[in-house]
């Protein structure tokens, strides 16, 4: 596609439920990143994929967070047993050899 696509754009869920966020990177981009941004804050690194492997998972906040990438393309970020502090915008970005290109994010609200 023309750009990085994320879905859903907005998600409201009840505390304790699981959510799955999807990222469709730019075709041909081998690197894929997930970041989290709380209101008025900077970008918090979560996880990075090179192809299908994740050399760095150090940013995942807890074991409730997991991510996978299949076929070197689409990635899903799963948050289990959501908590209110998980409320944030989750941004996905992909890159080839240059700059990261960001999707519009998924705004997650946990009630």
Using CB under 8 A, list all residues that contact another protein: 31, 33, 35, 41-43, 45, 48, 50, 55-56, 91, 98-105
Q: How far is the CB of 17 from another protein (least distance, A)?
A: 25
Nearer to another protein, 10 or 17 (CB): 10
Nearer to another protein, 59 or 80 (CB): 59
For residue 99, CA distances in Å to 7, 30, 62, 78, 95 come to: 22, 12, 28, 26, 6
Q: How far is the CB of 42 from another protein (least distance, A)?
A: 4
Nearer to another protein, 38 or 83 (CB): 38
Percentage helix, strand, coil, to 5, in the chain? 5, 50, 45
- CB proximity list for 50: less than 8 A, separation 6 or greater: 30, 31
């Amino acid at each position: 596609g023309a750009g990085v696509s994320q879905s859903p754009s907005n998600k409201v869920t009840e505390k304790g439920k699981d959510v799955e966020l999807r990222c469709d990177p730019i075709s041909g981009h081998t690197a894929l990143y997930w970041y989290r941004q709380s209101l008025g804050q900077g970008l918090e690194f979560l996880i990075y994929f090179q192809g299908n492997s994740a050399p760095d998972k150090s940013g995942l906040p807890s074991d409730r967070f997991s991510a996978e990438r299949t076929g070197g393309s689409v990635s899903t970020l799963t948050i289990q047993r959501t908590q209110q502090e998980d409320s944030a915008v989750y941004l996905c970005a992909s890159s080839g050899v240059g700059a990261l290109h960001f999707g519009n994010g998924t705004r997650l609200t946990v009630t």
